[in-house]
Structure 1
Amino acid sequence: MSRAVGDAVPDTRRRRSRDRRGRVWTLLGCCLLAALPAALLVVRLTGLDRGTPLAVPMVLFPWSAVLGVVVLGVVAAVPALRSRRVLAAVAVVVVAQVALLVPRFVPERQYVPTGAAELRVVTLNTDAGAVDARAVVDLVRAERIDVLAVEQTPAEGLRALDRAGLAALMPHREAHPEDDSSIYSRLPLSHGATTRGDTAWPQTTAHVEVGGRQVQLVAVHTFYPLGDPERWTRDMTALAAVARRSGPDTVFLGDFNASLDHSPMRELLAAGLTDTHAELGRGWARTWPVGHALVPPLVQLDHVLHGSGLAGVSVGERTVPGTDHRAVVAVLAVLPVREK
């Protein structure tokens, strides 16, 4: 009888030792999972993504915040994992991330007078013209679009759009397939040109009259960080220079290959532009990638930005067959000129 009791003691000790090792390894795993949100938070706060490969994972910042919340919940809910130091560290990271993300989910209270003139725009990266041209025309017709900006669209892609009926809906255009982006319009265009800044390829520009005002349009397609983060950063910096030279009646729309968490994008917005999604409290839209059965849209690379002379009325994303980007459809109101 005494030997049975004696045998049980080592078994209990071994079980407790295994439990302690399991707790340590599980807690270590939680710490490693929390390291990603912490690292991206540091990059977000310091701007280390500017011109560096860190720009690539930075696009996942909102997802890392979700991961941080999950880790925090697990550490707090499981008594065996509870550690004050780990809990406090993860909580600090999560609170900081939430503080950075919350503003884009809070709509701005912008007064738009009744009857204000509106501009309905859409931007779409056509994936080298692979998009279903007829679906694009159907989108333009259904949404009563005034201005369409297409990116990564070669000459054959433009001809496909015309064959599908776009020319009849939008007879005015500033087409530059050799420079990657083009602008179509139901309304007359003027001042058609391309930018001459330090971008990988020129950006197409034009003016359209809305409510008696000339609104400048810039169809944007930047280089991509995965290919060359320095080139992408120079593109964004050049766009910021264009924005500073532009007046309040300006719309930048296209594929920026950037999210709201990238420091070059924040610098572009600081040059006098507003992201329509964030303005309307929809700051975590996802426009890329699409068309993959196992991978849903994860990040927002496509945006409609506007100057202070306009305000967002609505914004949304539309899936168009044939391309890996979702279209962004926005309605912008022209605000009255403020007297000085």
Structure 2
Amino acid sequence: MRFVRGVLSLVLWVISIPVLLVALARVLPFDHVVPLPQLAAFTPWATIAALPLLIVALFSRRWVLTSLLGVSFAGFLYWMAPFFLPPDTSTAADPADAGTVRVMTVNALYGQADAETVVRLVGSQNVEVLSVQELTPDFAQALTDAGLDDLLPHSFTVPAEDTPAGSGLWSTTELREVEQQRGSTFAMPSALVDVGGTDVRVTVVHPYPPMPAETTTWHTELAELAERVHSDTTTPQILAGDFNATYDHASFRDLLGSRFLDASREWGAGPAVTWPEGSQVPALLALDHVVVEKDMPVSDVVSMEVSGTDHRALVATVVVE
């Protein structure tokens, strides 16, 4: 009997250790060391796993493990609860209002996304600003052929052939003072967009992914982007794209700082998981975001399937004024 209890205890510890490691990765104020970014991304799923493990540990009187899982589960609840708390007013803003802008972002997977689906979503979702990552020349042309220019006639594109480095920005209104993030591996163009008489700088975001050998590059590019957007203290900003990071990454929260908010978290409908899509594995991670100023209410934040790519599109209504 003692042997059986020992084996069960060992199994329980082995199953619990990944959950405890995710909690540790989430609580640390940095994430540029492997495997911290890889672990922190699974915080929502570790939250789900922690509860039954805590119950089993409690009833089997594994007091040390119970304590560790209890603290971890309390932390998970604290971190995840805001994603399910709707704002004071959860009424969807009207995208037709002059002071609102409907923003959509999609990663086109080396330009393999279905252009007609993207254009159809732009039309059906009343999208006024579109951010595209992994834009190739062929995909840019496919979007034009599918009628995107009729819906969003103004654009600033930096396509790239056979690499994920290309990006593009489309808008219903003129794009002014176009810029591009310097030093980033992938193009991150930005421009001023008129929203009801207010100039808003919209930036397409796509840092290098946190691959084990490139975690420092990922962290550095997010930090440089944060420095750039926070240095402009006068212009309202919206950031939209594949951040290759979830809210549970310290690098992403550092980018937000006290100035910006993640639209999905503010809307309170749960994390908008966007990757990986279109495979046997369902979308697990919320890597795509619309980031807004903290005084910009958001509504109707939804993710939508786009055939041909491994990311779901993310759409949000942002109230500028």
1:315 aligned partner: 301
Q: Which moved more, 1:295-304 or 1:178-187?
A: 178-187
Q: Which amino acid in 2 is paired with 1:180?
A: G
The share of aligned pairs that are identical, in percent, is 30
- Name the SS of the counterpart of 1:149 in structure 2: strand
Output the CA distance in 2 between the equivalents of 1:131 and 1:154.
Answer: 11
Output the CA distance in 1 between the equivalents of 2:257 and 2:37.
Answer: 19
Output the CA distance in 1 between the equivalents of 2:270 and 2:205.
Answer: 19
2:142 aligned residue (146, 160, 173): 160
Output the CA distance in 2 between the equivalents of 1:241 and 1:110.
Answer: 32
Output the CA distance in 2 between the equivalents of 1:287 and 1:241.
Answer: 26
1:55 shift after superposition: 1.1
Q: Does 1:250 align with 2:241?
A: no
Matches within 5 A, 1:111-150: 117-150=99-132
What runs of 5+ residues in structure 2 fail to find an aligned partner? none
1:95 aligned residue (49, 74, 77): 74
- Name the SS of the counterpart of 1:43 in structure 2: helix
Contact 2:110 2:135 in 1 (8 A): yes
Q: Which amino acid in 1 is paired with 2:229?
A: A
Structure having the larger proportion of residues in helix: 1
1:95 shift after superposition: 1.3
- Name the SS of the counterpart of 1:310 in structure 2: coil
2:15 aligned partner: 33
TM-score (norm. length: structure 2): 0.91
Output the CA distance in 1 between the equivalents of 2:273 and 2:300.
Answer: 16
Larger Rg: 1
2:218 aligned partner: 232
2:206 aligned partner: 221
1:74 aligned residue (56, 61, 84): 56
Q: Which moved more, 1:150-159 or 1:50-59?
A: 50-59
Q: Does 1:172 align with 2:133?
A: no
What runs of 5+ residues in structure 1 fail to find an aligned partner? 1-18, 336-340
CA 1:76–1:156: 2 relative to 1, 3 Å? same
Q: Does 1:267 align with 2:267?
A: no
- Name the SS of the counterpart of 1:52 in structure 2: coil
Matches within 5 A, 1:6-21: 19-21=1-3
Number of matched residues?
A: 312
1:58 shift after superposition: 1.8
2:62 aligned partner: 83
Q: Which moved more, 1:150-159 or 1:176-185?
A: 176-185
1:116 shift after superposition: 6.5
- Name the SS of the counterpart of 1:175 in structure 2: strand
2:185 aligned partner: 200
Contact 1:50 1:233 in 2 (8 A): yes
Deviations 1:300-327 (A, max 9, x none): 1000001134221220000010000000
CA 1:195–1:166: 2 relative to 1, 3 Å? same
TM-score (norm. length: structure 1): 0.86
Contact 1:174 1:193 in 2 (8 A): no
- Name the SS of the counterpart of 1:258 in structure 2: coil
Output the CA distance in 2 between the equivalents of 1:253 and 1:86.
Answer: 41
1:253 shift after superposition: 0.2
1:282 aligned partner: 269
Deviations 1:278-303 (A, max 9, x none): 111134221000111x2100001000
Deviations 1:49-104 (A, max 9, x none): 22434212221121112111121122345xxx333333233212211221222223
Deviations 1:212-251 (A, max 9, x none): 1001100011100015100000110011112212346210
Q: Which amino acid in 1 is paired with 2:204?
A: A
Deviations 1:1-37 (A, max 9, x none): xxxxxxxxxxxxxxxxxx3222221122112222222
Give the root-mean-square deviation of aligned CA atoms.
2.0
